[in-house]
Amino acid sequence: MEVINTIGRRKSSVARIYLSEGTGKITINKKDITEFFPSAILQYVVKQPLQLLGVEGQYDIKVNLYGGGFTGQSQALRLAIARALVEINPEDKKNLKDHGFLTRDSRAVERKKPGQPKARAHFQFSKR
At 52, which CATH number?
A: 3.30.230.10
Give tens-digit pLDDT for 91-121: 999 999 999 999 999 999 999 999 999 999 9
Q: Domain for residue 13, yes or no? A: yes
Residue 81 neighbours by CB distance under 10 Å? 26
User: Which residue type is seen at 34?
Assistant: T
The length of the chain in residues reads 128
Residue 119 lies in a domain: no
Residue 1 has pLDDT above 80, yes or no: no
The continuous run of DSSP H or E covering 86 comes out as: helix 70-88
Q: Give the domain extent around 64.
A: 4-99
- Judge whether 76 lies within some domain: yes
pTM above 0.85, yes or no: yes
Check pLDDT > 90 for residue 83: yes
- Domain count for the chain, please give it: 1
Please check whether residue 74 is in contact with residue 45, taking contact to mean a CB–CB distance below 8 angstroms.
yes
Provide the phi-psi class of 63: left if phi over 0, else alpha when psi is between -120 and 50, else beta: beta
